[in-house]
Structure 1
Amino acid sequence: MTNHDLIATVNQHGYAVVPVPPTPDDPFDAHRRTAHELGLPDAYIPRLYRDPQVLKTVAQPGPYNEIPRADSPVPPWSEVPGQQFHVDGLLEPLGGIRTTFLHCLTQAHAGGATQLLLACDAFTDLEATDAAAALSLTHPQALTRVATIPGTAPERLRSTGPASGRVDGELATRYSDGTTEIWNTTDNPDLQRALAYLRGPALDTHLVDIVLAPGQMLVFRNDRVSHRGRPYRNGARPRRLTRSM
């Protein structure tokens, strides 16, 4: 796939999987090479990982990191729980981080798929059948994301804004739905219906499962696609994924 084709595929479908050979002595060189080939800027450090309190407690606070952010050895044959749907950049505004790279260095022994929810496509379908529910996702108070990093003041790091909307004329999402999210659903039946759709029927038609093999990179539009990692079991060697935004 040429660079032009890759850009077109990611912009049209929201994601693409491409072969990117790793550099043995630099796990993040593949990110720099791919960004350069696609004409993207240097990798971005999200606002959360520029916070002074967070910098004291979180491993790998720079623009490149491993998933999970392990600061201690990972035992062989250990079980790792899954994630909830989110977009990268907990404190970023709608559309704040447009692209994410995930690069596989070592596969899990079992499990470990990355699931993509094509959230903007889901929004478009919802808008066609329940315009009021879709509109509720664009309200500036619809979704609050809260950092829960140990060692930081509770709920000091939070960001409230729409879950969907247009940025520079293009539909964008920050749909995230886990323990760090607060939805403004009180006395809000429209938003309740929207969430019921995103948590249910949307998963039947707008969910993609991807299991990366070593040397494969997932490139996706973080402003159009929500993602989550599924549970997995390590083998004799731990699974290694690297990430940049």
Structure 2
Amino acid sequence: MQQSQTDFRDPSCAEPVGFAGRDTAGHLLQRLEQHGFVVAAIDDPGPPDAQMVALSAALGLGDPYIPALYRHAETVNYSASYSHILSNPHDQHPGFSTTAGQDWHVDGLLDEIGTIKTTVLYCVRAAQRGGETLLFNSVVAFAELREQDPAAAEALLSPDALTRSSTIPAIDLSATGPVFSVDPGGNYITRYTDNDTCTWNFSAGPAGALRRALDFLRVAADNPRYQRAVLLRAGQALIFRNDRLSHGRRSYEDSPDARRHLIRVLYANAPV
């Protein structure tokens, strides 16, 4: 996996790549394999839905995936293929409708690790200030941990290491699973999340191992080698491997007459 060699301190990893359809898809795929993410600059911005269809077709992503959390009667309002992320004081979604920052997570709170392979964030309108998406190369940090402290790494592979629970008001749903695993191709995949949805099972693995693992990952997440901030401009799309990177968001401020507006689309397929 080329992503294991990337260094997020290299400014070129976040340079936008022009997208004009299938002819330029190869450049996006190359960056995705190298870094786990790529910023696509749409050459001819049009209706956002049409841009997402074109991008999905060029990368072979197939149809959007609806996360398990949003397949319940209580959450049907969030079950659209294209999720609009913009501040809304009348909505209670803890991620979509607030200007607050978001801690590390992967998309798919209830889904089995590795189910959602690709996330696309398309910027319709940027914030007045802030709102950068943060990316953490968590699978590579885990590989380093496994070399330095195998017992701590093994604790993260435990099938009952982490329970994630919905924080949407009145929605009592949760899922337990490993923090990292290995896919059929032998590559590490991640479910690393460190936010208020988490309940850690510190009995997983040898005594003290999971706490050491968390300490290591929290330090690694602040290391510029593993962390990258990406500020999208209107007409740009951030495409990243949700099964290989964890992500978050810095808080932001809207202008009085124009709210920050991103569209999120999830896919069960990896780009091809």
Q: TM-score, normalised by structure 1?
A: 0.89
- Report the CA distance between 1:112 and its aligned residue: 0.7
Distance, in Å, in 2 between the alignment partners of 1:136 and 1:186 is 9
- Aligned CA distance change for structure 1 residues 109 and 217 (closer, same or farther; 3 Å): same
Check the 8 A contact 2:163/2:198 in 1, yes or no: yes
3-state DSSP class of the match of 1:80?
Answer: coil
- The answer as to 2:180 corresponding to 1:180 is no
Task: Identify which of 218, 226, 229 aligns with 1:209.
Answer: 229
- Report the CA distance between 1:7 and its aligned residue: 1.4
Question: Counterparts of 1:10-29 in structure 2 under 5 Å?
Answer: 10-20=32-42, 21-23=44-46, 26-29=47-50
Task: Identify which of 64, 73, 92 aligns with 2:82.
Answer: 64
- Report the CA distance between 1:203 and its aligned residue: 2.0
3-state DSSP class of the match of 1:33?
Answer: helix
Check the 8 A contact 2:87/2:259 in 1, yes or no: no
Cα deviation 1:29-49 (Å, max 9, x = unaligned): 221110001111111111111
Distance, in Å, in 1 between the alignment partners of 2:84 and 2:202 is 34
Q: TM-score, normalised by structure 2?
A: 0.80
- Report the CA distance between 1:174 and its aligned residue: 0.5
Check the 8 A contact 1:88/1:222 in 2, yes or no: yes
Check the 8 A contact 2:122/2:262 in 1, yes or no: yes
- 2:27 is aligned to 5
| Structure 1 runs, 4 residues or longer, greater than 3 Å off | 68-73
| Counterpart residue identity of residue 105, structure 2 | H
Task: Identify which of 167, 170, 180 aligns with 1:164.
Answer: 180
- Report the CA distance between 1:60 and its aligned residue: 3.7
Higher relative contact order (CA 8 A, sep 6+): 1
Check the 8 A contact 1:90/1:159 in 2, yes or no: yes
3-state DSSP class of the match of 1:93?
Answer: coil
Q: Percent same amino acid at aligned positions? A: 39
- Report the CA distance between 1:22 and its aligned residue: 3.6
Distance, in Å, in 2 between the alignment partners of 1:66 and 1:132 is 41
In structure 2, the gaps of 5 or more residues are: 1-16, 18-23, 92-97, 267-272
- 1:196 is aligned to 215
3-state DSSP class of the match of 1:227?
Answer: strand
In structure 1, the gaps of 5 or more residues are: 74-78
- 1:40 is aligned to 61
RMSD: 1.8
| Counterpart residue identity of residue 213, structure 1 | R
Count of residue correspondences: 232
- The answer as to 2:271 corresponding to 1:235 is no
- Aligned CA distance change for structure 1 residues 203 and 174 (closer, same or farther; 3 Å): same
- 1:142 is aligned to 161
